[in-house]
């Protein structure tokens, strides 16, 4: 496998959101050829293979993963990574194996090949939606230096923001993403349910949310914090909690405590 | 006071973020003249008056609020509204008094004038930053129909999305804003602190956050929810909690419980 010679031949295992998100970016690079899509569901494998382009093989046969391929990318659920790697036939070891998870140690791939690594894109994917990955950070890790160079080449074909992170660092980065993305989205979901009790919905909050995000991106979320907890306005906080069902009240109380404690330390 | 005749003469009490946010939008409307800014701090009053335009009076004297004015807008902290209204001289009662708070009952202004109401903009303001209010919802309430018509005129000069909400509804809308904006921002602040432990920062999460927001705005936050709690991935959730200091661990646990409970109900 040489970055200077023929295109890298890639198998993608998986046909979910991450596979659909990464494939278009990889396909756009002349030095990378996706040759095969493997999925448990033949229709899903065929759909993604067809979307990537003509001549891409679609199969359900995992033993084909490394056949005539330089790289196997496991874009599958966290739980599926280790079993798939463990079931790789000995002939697979010529290929470089990669997974895309924020939470799984790189080493679980060592059974499939002595050359393995991680390409973790810090982005959320939706099947059927073309997500711009050009400035999304991609965190990479590899078993050795020459493998790292190849994974870096893959990652840089997708994004201009490629960084190294070991498995511990990647777990922290993923945990931060849960706060930045999953928990934030849940806040909007709760806001929606409360607003509907007053004839509005989260759609009415989009200008406010956009401005909050603009402020956080400009001056940082710590300096951008506003609201009753930031001001220590106990009367408003109590009035709000009185409106809420128990679980939302507990969330309001805990997050207000957390905000207050942040600024007491200032 | 007649919407068809001379411009409405407005006093703004306050020189904080809300006053700075509303003044430019009001000033842009020919039928509205801001004649006076009142602030405890004479320099702050002068700065805002000068920013609004030539001939705007700046004073610290609250007894001047309704002098030669049709409307007094209290753009002050929640706690200051009732004391200011209570101290209004009897001559003030010819003017229409308005506050801009999400949390304070309209009725606290009844001591200042029989004609009063609320103009609550659903937006966050930063001094010195021109915020586009044209599509931010403004929730209004008034003591009577003719007062409501005038407050609606003021609000529609600022935004195309003007709605009525009584004091209870406005409190709910404000509580939802705490989730949509204040708590969301705090999630980004926590994400920043965690990411810094792995050599990144919240700035690296902006593409992810933007995409999360795009998805929430498109399909709604309930359907857009992703992450370990949505998937019920206990192994990842436990690994993340093990990385966190106690208060953040408790937040992670509680929000994951809340997400899980949302989707059990589906």
Distances (CA, A) of B113 to A264, B59, B119, B256: 40, 21, 16, 49
Q: Which residues contact A78 (CB under 8 A, 6 or more apart)?
A: A101, A103, A104, B233, B235, B236
Give the residue from chain B lying closest to A159, CA to CA: B207
Q: Do A185 and B225 touch (CB under 8 A)?
A: yes
Provide the pLDDT for residue A266: 56
CB contacts < 8 A, A to B, total: 305
Average pLDDT in chain B: 93
**Is 80 exceeded by the pLDDT of residue B2?**
no
Q: Whole-model pTM?
A: 0.91
> What are A68's two structure tokens?
């005539």
Provide the pLDDT for residue A181: 96
Give φ, ψ of B265 to 5 degrees: -75, -15
**Among B205, B210, B227, whose Cβ lies nearest the Cβ of A176?**
B205
Which of A133, A179, A255 would you mutate first to test chain B, the one with the most B CBs within 10 A?
A179
Tell me the chain B residues in contact with residue A76 when contact means C-beta distances shorter than 8 Å: none
Residue B113 C-alpha, separation from nearest chain A C-alpha, in angstroms: 25
Provide the pLDDT for residue A128: 74
**Among B181, B204, B244, whose Cβ lies nearest the Cβ of A137?**
B204
Tell me the chain A residues in contact with residue B131 when contact means C-beta distances shorter than 8 Å: 211
Give the residue from chain A lying closest to B185, CA to CA: A221
Gap between the Cα atoms of B89 and B112, Å rounded:
8
Provide the pLDDT for residue B1: 55
Q: Do B251 and A252 touch (CB under 8 A)?
A: no
Report angle CA B64, B66, B68 to the nearest 5 degrees: 95
> What are A181's two structure tokens?
């993305």
Give the residue from chain A lying closest to B122, CA to CA: A208
Tell me the chain B residues in contact with residue A141 when contact means C-beta distances shorter than 8 Å: none
For residue B219, the tally of other CB atoms under 10 A from its CB is: 12
Q: Do A192 and B221 touch (CB under 8 A)?
A: yes
Provide the pLDDT for residue B91: 75
Q: Do A202 and B216 touch (CB under 8 A)?
A: yes
Tell me the chain A residues in contact with residue B174 when contact means C-beta distances shorter than 8 Å: 236, 240
Tell me the chain A residues in contact with residue B127 when contact means C-beta distances shorter than 8 Å: none
One digit per residue, the tens of pLDDT, for chain A of length 266 reads 555 578 999 999 999 989 999 998 899 888 999 999 999 999 999 999 999 999 999 999 999 999 999 999 999 999 999 999 998 887 777 899 999 999 999 999 999 999 999 999 999 888 777 788 888 999 999 999 999 999 999 999 999 999 999 999 999 999 999 999 999 999 999 999 999 999 999 999 999 999 999 999 999 999 999 999 999 999 999 999 999 999 999 999 999 999 999 998 55
Gap between the Cα atoms of B94 and B115, Å rounded:
8
Per-residue pLDDT reduced to its tens digit, B8-53: 999 999 999 899 999 988 998 889 999 999 999 999 999 999 999 9
**Is 90 exceeded by the pLDDT of residue B124?**
no
Q: Do A247 and B257 touch (CB under 8 A)?
A: yes
Tell me the chain A residues in contact with residue B255 when contact means C-beta distances shorter than 8 Å: 183, 186, 251
Provide the pLDDT for residue A185: 98
Gap between the Cα atoms of B10 and B73, Å rounded:
7
Provide the pLDDT for residue A124: 87
Provide the pLDDT for residue A223: 95
Provide the pLDDT for residue A2: 54
**Is 80 exceeded by the pLDDT of residue B230?**
yes
Gap between the Cα atoms of A227 and B107, Å rounded:
23
Residue A93 C-alpha, separation from nearest chain B C-alpha, in angstroms: 28
Which of A78, A122, A181, A266 would you mutate first to test chain B, the one with the most B CBs within 10 A?
A181
DSSP character string of A63-127: GGTTTT-SEEEE-S-HHHHHHHHHT--GGGGGSEEEE--SSS-GGGGTTT-SSEEEEEE-S---T
Q: Do B183 and A182 touch (CB under 8 A)?
A: no
Per-residue pLDDT reduced to its tens digit, B46-80: 999 999 999 999 999 999 999 999 999 999 999 99
Q: Do A182 and B259 touch (CB under 8 A)?
A: yes
Q: Do B208 and A239 touch (CB under 8 A)?
A: no
Gap between the Cα atoms of A184 and A181, Å rounded:
5
Which of B175, B182, B223 would you mutate first to test chain A, the one with the most A CBs within 10 A?
B175
Tell me the chain A residues in contact with residue B202 when contact means C-beta distances shorter than 8 Å: 176, 180, 216, 220-221
What is the interface pTM, i.e. ipTM, of the complex?
0.91
Band of pLDDT at residue B94, cut at 50, 70 and 90: confident
Share of chain B above pLDDT 70, in %: 97
Residue A80 C-alpha, separation from nearest chain B C-alpha, in angstroms: 12
Average pLDDT over residues B243-254: 98
Gap between the Cα atoms of A17 and A15, Å rounded:
7
> Which candidate, A162, A143, A59, places its Cα nearest to that of A96?
A143
Give the residue from chain B lying closest to A247, CA to CA: B258
Q: Do A176 and B188 touch (CB under 8 A)?
A: no
């Amino acid at each position: 496998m040489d970055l200077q010679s023929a295109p890298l031949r890639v198998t993608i295992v998986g046909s979910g959101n991450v596979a659909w998100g990464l494939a278009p970016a990889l396909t756009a690079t002349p030095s990378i050829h996706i040759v095969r899509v493997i999925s448990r569901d033949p229709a899903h494998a065929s759909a993604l293979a067809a979307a990537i382009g003509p001549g891409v093989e679609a199969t359900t046969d995992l033993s084909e993963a490394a056949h005539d391929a330089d790289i196997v990318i496991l874009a599958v659920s966290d739980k599926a990574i280790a079993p798939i790697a463990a079931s790789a036939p000995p002939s697979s070891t010529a290929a470089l194996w990669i997974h895309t998870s924020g939470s799984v140690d790189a080493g679980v791939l060592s059974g499939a090949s002595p050359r393995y690594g991680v390409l973790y894109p810090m982005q959320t994917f939706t099947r059927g939606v073309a997500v711009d990955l050009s400035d999304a950070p991609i965190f990479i890790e590899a078993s050795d230096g020459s493998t790292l160079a190849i994974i870096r080449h893959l990652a840089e074909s997708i994004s201009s923001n490629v960084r190294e992170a070991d498995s511990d660092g990647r777990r922290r980065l993923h945990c931060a993403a849960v706060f930045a993305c999953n928990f934030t989205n849940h806040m909007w979901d709760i806001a929606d349910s409360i607003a509907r009790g007053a004839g509005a919905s989260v759609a009415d909050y989009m200008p406010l949310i956009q401005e909050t995000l603009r402020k956080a991106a400009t001056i940082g979320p710590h300096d951008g914090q506003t609201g009753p907890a930031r001001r220590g306005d106990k009367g408003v906080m109590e009035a709000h909690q009185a409106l809420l069902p128990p679980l939302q009240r507990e969330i309001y109380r805990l997050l207000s405590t957390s905000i207050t404690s942040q600024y007491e330390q200032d």
